[in-house]
Amino acid sequence: MARRVVQWEATNYDREELQVITIFEEGITKQAVKQEIPFSRSHGVLYQSQGGNHYEFK
């Protein structure tokens, strides 16, 4: 099953640029991700390999 990946940038209190990557649980839809993080620009998907030992990013 696929997992959604969202990447976005933020600034902390020290004005440092941060790159935030959020990996969601399996089965969540892209629309649900957009509702939770509406300002994200990069959406990706992790697919589990045939053996189930690792994920592939697409």
DSSP letter string, 1-58: -EEEEEEEEEE-TT--EEEEEEEEEET--HHHHHHHSTT--EEEEEEE-SSSS-EEE-
The whole-model pTM stands at 0.72
User: pLDDT class for 11, splitting at 50, 70, 90?
Assistant: very high
41 pLDDT above the threshold of 90: no
**Mean pLDDT score of the chain, rounded to an integer?**
88
51 pLDDT above the threshold of 90: no
User: pLDDT class for 18, splitting at 50, 70, 90?
Assistant: very high
